[in-house]
Amino acid sequence: MLRMSNNWNEFKCLDAGNGEKLENWNGIILRRPDPQAIWTVDKDIDIWKKIDGQYFRSNKGGGEWKFFKSLPEYWTINYKGLTFKISPTNFKHTGLFPEQAVNWDFMMDKIKNSNRKIKVLNLFAYTGGATIACSKAGADVVHVDASRGMTEWAKENMRLSGLENNFIRFIVDDCLKFVEREYRRGNKYDAIVMDPPSYGRGPNGEVWKFEDSIYTLINACIKILSDQPLFLLINSYTTGISSIVLENILKTTLLPLYPNGKVDAGEVGLPVEKNNLILPCGIYGRWQSND
């Protein structure tokens, strides 16, 4: 199933093709690479030229931004009462993945309709999009990421969204090691969301490789689910991994333990304004209760 993040007011994917995408981030137009946009598009038209910044890849790896007007160090973007800091980084990202709004909507709806206090664990939590969404919906959230810089960014998003008085615990740690310690401590969670990278290293050099590590992590997470779990959501951008893989993992691990729930999986995407195409933006797999 394809799930579209099409409820944005302050973000638009204006056009995409020839390995790039053109986006409007609350009035600031950015052009940057996208490996999924391999179809042909005419880049000689005005919208591809009237840009505020463009990311150029280097033949030696990495790349850099070129700005065509003076931009603030950061600016903000809003989504349904959530506010996020946007700032172009030296690895082409802006600090937010707007396609994830469809997952935020799912989690917020589940939490609001649960009629009980929900405790959420957000793993590989990055700048905290899911953390802020779940907190806004009324959940207590534990946010775990190996990067101290991204965790500080997430704290800024918390403050921008006015959630300083909510329970959000920020932890810089290796995600698998943290989950294993939570099991030994007897801590439980009603909901778990994760966005594991294709490859990464923890704070102490721990190696993460998606295809080698995801099954171990899912099994570890199952051990810290509460007696009445609400959902477990996996998001992935790993090339070559099908959403059916995530569906199969959840059907063989989580569903036998909680047969009254349901599993689904698919792609997440963004509408392309210029021509009504869809820009694919990764995959998801989720188990949810029938509450």
Q: How many CB atoms lie within 10 A of CB 147?
A: 17
> What is d(CA 264, CA 233) in angstroms, rounded to the nearest whole number?
10
- Confidence at 199, pLDDT banded by 50, 70, 90: confident
Given a cut of 90, whether residue 207 has pLDDT beyond it is no
- pLDDT tens digit string along 117-171? 999 999 999 999 999 999 999 999 999 999 999 999 999 999 999 999 999 999 9
pLDDT, mean of residues 264-277 = 96
Position 210 scores a pLDDT of 85
Q: How many CB atoms lie within 10 A of CB 228?
A: 13
Chain mean pLDDT for the chain: 95
At 248 the three-state DSSP class reads helix
Position 58 scores a pLDDT of 83
263 neighbors 251 (Cβ within 8 angstroms): yes
Q: Provide the CATH number for the domain formed by 2-79 in this structure.
A: 2.60.40.1180
Position 70 scores a pLDDT of 96
Position 90 scores a pLDDT of 87
Domain-wise residue ranges, the chain: 2-79, 97-288
pLDDT, mean of residues 43-66 = 90
Given a cut of 90, whether residue 239 has pLDDT beyond it is no
Half-sphere exposure of 154 (CA within 13 A, CB side): 29
Q: Provide the CATH number for the domain formed by 97-288 in this structure.
A: 3.40.50.150
pLDDT, mean of residues 40-67 = 90
pLDDT, mean of residues 228-247 = 95
Position 209 scores a pLDDT of 82
The conformational region for residue 276 under phi > 0 = left, psi -120 to 50 = alpha, else beta, is: left
User: Quick one: CA dihedral 14, 18, 19, 20, positive or negative?
Assistant: negative
